[in-house]
């Protein structure tokens, strides 16, 4: 279903108008789709529906795809991340039919008379080029999941505070069916599905696995949300999907969408779920990971902030357990207690090729979106040895708030580290992801 030259031209000619009215497109799209298909709300992050993050991200993705329609390879990393997230959410091909129908209807509402039959056909083909790429990749991922299809029940075997404040909690999860668990790549995540009292629809959130793979349990680490507008990446309260719902700025445009406080799932897990309770998970997924089979001697630099330590701790524990002979530099920022600090320092004492750097930052739940030079100064205090800057083969894995990751990326770039040696865990929806690959 490749586009002709003329169809590609028609798509690109309408891009400026669609970009200009991107917010309106998202509002019309989601409002009408959820009105007619309320069952889809079982997939949606109700917080991000009200912040407007997901509609903007979805619009950007589609328009970015259209902009690169003749050079789709430029978008491969973005599409891989989306496909992995879809697989974690158990998104099915038939849901693309629904999304496409309402998306094109929203385009028509914006373009008006400019949405001629030829333009509509061109956009239909463009959408399905992207949809086929995603569903094809997702089908391959589902085959890799083998016998684990959809949701699987897990029991909370152990629940442990990881900080003195008790605001970061780890959950050891064991499968109710008692069957061995598949391995995963350290750094990947699972999706949790729970029922929250007072909410009509199931609530889904993605959480990084925070330990090395085990045949009988998984571990996730969750941070309490104090009511900020931003969630740590480790909590994965930000998830963009092709069928993710979102709203305009006003609740009145949402129809039947329920209002929701920030951190509803993370807080409910911490407050309402106890040892012996059950939750549902999907198979581990994700494109941010360390491949333990690639045994090499290149230095590994792991940089995190707050609960975003989770996927990097999975990497570190795997390196140690598998006795992978790589120099490791562990750099961790935190506002108060650093979760897992005692464990990490104990590992460093036993492994002479591991160095650690813990430091306090002024990042907090309320000011993380507006911090200025204070954290920049913290990061600048890191030495060339901490970052292995003299080694041109060192690999960097970074996980934290968007601005934390951007600051780290810029700092490394200024010191000559090439972008291909830096990996980010991206659970933001929109601008940061686009900036990284532009």
Which one of the listed residues 30, 96, 232, 396 is annotated catalytic? 96
Q: Which two tokens stand for residue 302?
A: 């792991």
- Are 345 and 313 in contact by the 8 Å Cβ rule? The answer is no
Query: Does the annotation mark 138 as catalytic?
Result: yes
Per DSSP, the residues of 331-389 read EEEESSSPTTHHHHHHHHHH-TTEEEEEEE----TTTTTT--HHHHHHHHTS-HHHHTT
Tell me which residue of 268, 272, 269, 275 sits closest to 155, measured CA to CA.
275
CA-based torsion, 283, 287, 289, 290: positive or negative = positive
3 state SS for 376-427: HHHHHCCCHHHHCCCCCCCEEEEECCHHHHHHHHHHHHHCCCCHHHEEECCC
- Are 409 and 435 in contact by the 8 Å Cβ rule? The answer is no
CA distance 59 to 57: 5
Which one of the listed residues 30, 127, 138, 397 is annotated catalytic? 138
Pairing of strands 300-305, 354-360: unpaired
Angstrom CA distances, 234 to 132, 267, 298, 356, stand at 30, 14, 26, 20
Active site amino acids = 96, 138
């Amino acid at each position: 279903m490749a586009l002709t030259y003329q169809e590609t031209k028609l798509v690109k000619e309408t891009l400026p108008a669609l970009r200009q009215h991107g917010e309106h497109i998202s509002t019309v799209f989601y409002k009408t789709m959820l009105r007619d298909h309320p069952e889809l709300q079982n997939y949606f992050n109700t917080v991000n529906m009200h912040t407007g993050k997901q509609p903007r991200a979805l619009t950007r993705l589609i328009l970015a795809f259209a902009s690169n329609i003749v050079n789709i390879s430029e978008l491969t990393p973005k599409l891989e991340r989306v496909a992995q997230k879809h697989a974690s959410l158990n998104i099915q091909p038939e849901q693309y039919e629904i999304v496409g129908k309402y998306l094109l209807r929203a385009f028509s509402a914006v373009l008006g008379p400019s949405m001629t039959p030829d333009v509509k056909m061109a956009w239909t083909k463009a959408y399905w080029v992207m949809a086929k790429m995603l569903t094809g990749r997702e089908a391959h991922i589902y085959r890799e999941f083998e016998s684990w299809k959809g949701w699987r029940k897990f029991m909370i075997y152990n629940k442990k505070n990881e900080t003195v404040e008790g605001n970061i909690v780890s959950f050891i999860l064991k499968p109710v069916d008692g069957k061995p668990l598949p391995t995963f790549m350290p750094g990947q995540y699972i999706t949790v599905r729970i029922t929250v009292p007072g909410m009509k629809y199931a609530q889904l959130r993605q959480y990084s696995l925070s330990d090395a793979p085990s045949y009988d349990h998984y571990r996730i680490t969750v941070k309490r949300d104090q009511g900020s507008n931003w969630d740590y990446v480790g909590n994965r309260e930000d998830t963009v999907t092709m069928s993710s719902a979102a709203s305009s700025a006003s609740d009145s445009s949402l129809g039947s969408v329920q209002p929701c406080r920030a951190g509803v799932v993370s807080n409910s897990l911490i407050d309402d779920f106890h040892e012996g309770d059950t939750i549902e998970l999907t198979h581990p997924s994700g494109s941010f990971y360390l491949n333990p089979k690639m045994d090499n001697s290149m230095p590994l630099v792991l940089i995190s902030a707050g609960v975003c330590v989770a996927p990097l701790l999975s990497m570190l524990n795997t390196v140690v357990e598998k006795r992978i002979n790589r120099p490791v530099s562990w750099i961790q920022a935190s506002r108060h207690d650093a979760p897992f600090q005692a464990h990490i320092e104990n590992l460093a004492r036993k492994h002479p090729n591991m160095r650690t750097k813990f430091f306090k930052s002024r990042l907090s739940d309320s000011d993380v979106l507006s911090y200025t030079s204070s954290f920049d100064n913290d990061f600048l205090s890191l030495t060339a040895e901490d970052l292995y800057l003299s080694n041109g083969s060192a690999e960097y894995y970074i996980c934290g708030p968007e601005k934390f990751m951007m600051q780290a990326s810029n700092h490394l770039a200024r010191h000559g580290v090439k972008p291909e040696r830096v990996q980010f865990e991206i659970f933001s929806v929109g601008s940061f992801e686009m900036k990284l690959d532009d």
